[in-house]
Amino acid sequence: MPEIFGKVLEVKRAVAEQPERSLSSACKQMGISRSAFYKYWNSVFAYDEKLTQRVVNFSVTLQHQEGVLLNLLMSLYSMHANILTVTQNILVDGVAMVSLSLKMSGESANPKELTRAMREVSGVVEVRLLSGE
């Protein structure tokens, strides 16, 4: 494994563990340039990170009612699903489409359980599992 890969992982770990730490100072401490870091940062991951986490994507249709999206997000939170992105489209014919990307750890429910739980939230019209790792 090239030495730069290990240094990129160390910089990522240092910044994650100390959010107040700047990327520039972490790169400098590891002896790599920021451009070298950015060249590999999105391609190099710790081995255990890929084994213990997965990303799933859902499309959800919500009725136009107060608090539906909040209740949906709280349901996901209670099932230990870490929300990466939420994209809500404009309201059309009394419903809104929401796209969700979730990062799941070993504590999270599986995608089928998440789908079932989301369908039980009042105001949720439809839930579709689009993809999952």
The confidence score (pLDDT) of residue 51 equals 43
Q: Can you tell me whether residue 88 is helix, strand or coil?
A: strand
From the centroid of its chain, how far is CA 24? 25
pLDDT tens string, the chain, 133 residues long: the values are: 788 888 999 898 888 888 777 888 889 988 999 998 889 888 887 765 444 457 889 999 999 999 999 999 999 988 888 888 999 999 899 999 999 998 877 766 788 888 899 999 999 999 998 886 5
Give the integer Cα–Cα distance in Å for 22 and 76.
32
Q: Name all domains of the chain by residue range, CATH numbers in brackets.
A: 3-50 (no CATH), 53-132 (3.30.70.260)
From the centroid of its chain, how far is CA 87? 13
Question: For residues 12, 13, 14 and 15, what is the CA-based torsion angle, rounded to 10 degrees?
Answer: 50
